[in-house]
A and B are shown apart, each in its own frame.
Chain A
Amino acid sequence: MDNVLLARMLFGSSLIFHIIFATLGVGLTLMILIAEILRVVRKDNDYGILAKRWTKAVAILLGVAIPSGTIVAVMLALLWPGLIEVVGQVIALPFTLEIFAFFFEALFLSIYVYAASRLSSTMRIISVFFVALGATASAVLITNVQSWMNTPTGFSIVNGDITDVRPWEAVLNPAFGYTAIHVASSAYTATAFVVASYAAYQLLKPNLKQSEKTYHRKGLMMALIFGAITSLWTATNGHHSAVGLHHNVPVKLAAAEGLFETQSNAPLSIFGTPDPEANRVVGGIEVPGMLSYLATGSTDGVVVGLNEYPRDEWPPLFVHTLFNIMVGIGSALIALSFGALAYRIFFKKREYPNWVLIPLVASGPLAMLGIETGWIFACIGRQPWTIYGIQRTAEAATKSANLGTFFVIFISLYGFLLVVTALVMRYYFRRNPLIKEFENQTTTV
């Protein structure tokens, strides 16, 4: 297999693995913060227990999140020396600032976890606030480089050399705003539904004690409200991302929508397969004019099609499917959370029937799938470029051999660690059931 493909496989699989843990790290720390605040405001220790158990989950996840992040950082440098050569000259700043976000997160997390008994309630909230801030900031800062790769700015190229570097202009590249917001909000969304999914799963169990039911219901409600807000927000700023693509990276939008001809009144195609022979998406549903409307605000707006570009600058056409999956999941999550909340408000029932709980159990894995397809779409949709319009992926890749062997080793390791992490979580929470927490209540306040 060729080297570039192997490098992409190795790097891509490492990121797919890292992102699972990183996303939960971003989202859970914010939910812990909210739970800690609710505990004080409502004077209800159930929220304290939620915060405590989520913190334990974060501690377990970090055992993999941190080294997997280190792996991605080092691999980025080793596998993509061409990219790094440009990044180091133009956009090294966010990586630098990210380090300080990591320090903040690591220091305050240890303070929150291991010094809890020596801190006042306010200091605990402040510490966990900084943990959440550090986590979100690290996601935003890494995304900054990602967005710059889509819309590279802040430098000039003279005879192949990079000159006249303006670091802040690179940081504030046109795609940064919407990309960062979309990444943060989608991480919150995904975590909310993972939490909802867990609570719903617990509530499905027969013969729960009343105290356990109340506890899980509080967790579920919190996750649903948080998830409803963030999923709606994610769809809104996802729309902004699409509009951003229309302006900055039109070929990616064209691939996402399977649009071949540049046209006004462009249709939105849902599912189906883009067919370059037929110059359209076959087997999907078409909403006439909708794409023009979404991208430009009017059905008369002109949307650029793939045919404007030489074939060798087309991304793989299957990104259409990835994009559809992400958007489909986004819509499903909105429907699910608002539906469940509406059920609660209109029927004034405190208990959800199983036909509501079962789809909620599915929502967590679905939301994670949304994150993964979103990232893969963002990266593969940029192909064949690593830095859009500037550097091709083949020019960025390392020339080193041995990548195939390492791909096999790392993939097996990731698979193994996923299984072990899941087993460790299960073991820990079985050995330390909720009942025990209720008994220890007095010591945790």
Chain B
Amino acid sequence: MEANVAIVVIWLFLFLYALGGAIDFGAGFWSMFYFGRKDTTAASIANLYLNPSWKVTNVFLVLFVVALVGFFPHAAFALGSFMIVPVSFVLILLIIRSAFMVYSYSVQKYTKLFTYISGITGLLIPALMLSILPIIIGGFVEIVGGNHYILYDRLLSSPTLYAHIGFGLAAELFLSSLFLSDYAREAKAMETYEVYRKNAIILGPIMLSMAVAATMTLMPEAMWMVENMARQWHLFALSLVVFSIGYSALWWPSKKGRVGQPRVAVLFMVAQIGLASFAYGWAHMPYIVYPDLTIYEAVTNKQMYLSLLWGYAIGMAILVPLFYWFWRLFLKDKRYLTDKKVDDVR
């Protein structure tokens, strides 16, 4: 019971970070991709979003990690032994990305170089994070004398690794384009809206097919997972329907002049990712690391579980109004979205 509630909380935090992180790193990439282009404001729109929000997004990552080891302390030894390598690479990319993103605003002379460094390192982060999934699912970890080791030869020669990486890239770029198209429209930058809308239209089906590819290539490696996923077929089917509706919203007529209702599309995609990731997580149960560590073995004691739950509940109750205010100030307020002077305060 405790383990089940705890894993749902963890899933919720992971879901929030997956969305926030995908949009954040994706926006960093677009800010690089459209760097210096005179014909579109796509880069400034991306920066307008990134400036106030990257720190907040990063806290969600910390939240996820802290909640994971807080609720499941007995997973630490297993995770600590084979996650070091992939996670350390993520951390290295993360510090380079954040530092150079901030520096690019301060050093005009090297803005271009720094934007490229942060754009590319950021692009790779979600891809690398997703590459951790197939490792946890099994087939690539060997246990010798109680220690877990990653079988690099097998991992690196397995198509599922690359399918997962591809899915990470596609999801990041698709979600950020979609979100930025809505953001651009909120800022009344209609040309930019078109740019991001077009990106989203191209990337949506790519993301979907990468997801299918990632699942298919899993078969030889972790058949148990694929079978469990097949048992969740109704949730996956529902998520497909939701995806289609959201995707079609990019062509719905709108009163705001241009075709498409990006807000509707964003909301449906959030629901779609939620459904699909929940179904995926459910299929993963009860294992944290297949086949030798389940959530029931890893969970903390009852007292700590209860006090953590209270801690998160009270903390969130205080934060939600603050998040709402933040959203009003930076994602809705016309004075911010159209302020040309924003550049010089940062």
- A residues bordering B, Cβ < 8 Å? 56, 59-60, 62-64, 66-71, 73-75, 77-82, 84-90, 92-93, 95-100, 102-104, 106-107, 109-111, 113-118, 162-163, 165-168, 398-403, 406, 409-410, 413, 417, 420-421, 424, 427-428, 431
Contacts and interface: CB of A to CB of B under 8 A. Distances in A.
B84 A400 contact: yes
Contacts of A402: 84-85
Given A96-B312, A402-B85, A79 B80 contact: yes
Nearest to A109: B55
28 contacts: A60-B103, A64-B95, A67-B94, A67-B95, A69-B62, A75-B91, A79-B80, A82-B76, A84-B69, A84-B80, A85-B73, A92-B69, A92-B304, A93-B304, A95-B70, A96-B308, A98-B66, A103-B315, A103-B322, A107-B56, A107-B322, A114-B51, A114-B342, A166-B303, A167-B304, A398-B81, A410-B92, A413-B96
Contacts of A110: 51-53, 55-56, 326, 330
Nearest to B342: A114
A165 to B, nearest CB: 5
B99 interface: yes
Nearest to A425: B106
Contacts of A104: 322
A118 B97 CA distance: 30
B252 interface: no
Interface stretch (B25-33, B182-190, B333-341): B333-341
B74 interface: yes
Judged by DSSP, the binding face of B is helix
B65 interface: yes
Given A69-B62, A88-B300, 17 more contacts: A63-B101, A63-B102, A74-B91, A78-B79, A78-B83, A78-B87, A82-B76, A84-B80, A95-B70, A96-B312, A110-B52, A110-B55, A116-B345, A165-B301, A165-B303, A413-B95, A428-B106
Contacts of A113: 52, 345-346
A81 B304 contact: no
A81 B80 contact: yes
Nearest to B56: A106
A97 B71 CA distance: 14
Interface of B: 51-53, 55-56, 58-59, 61-63, 65-74, 76-77, 79-85, 87-88, 91-92, 94-103, 106-109, 146-147, 149, 300-301, 303-304, 307-308, 311-312, 315, 318-319, 322-323, 325-326, 329-330, 333, 335-336, 339, 341-342, 345-346
A7 B59 CA distance: 25
A399 B312 contact: no
B303 A107 contact: no
Contacts of B315: 96-97, 99-100, 103
Nearest to B81: A400
A114 B336 contact: yes
Contacts of A400: 80-82, 84-85, 147
A380 B303 CA distance: 32
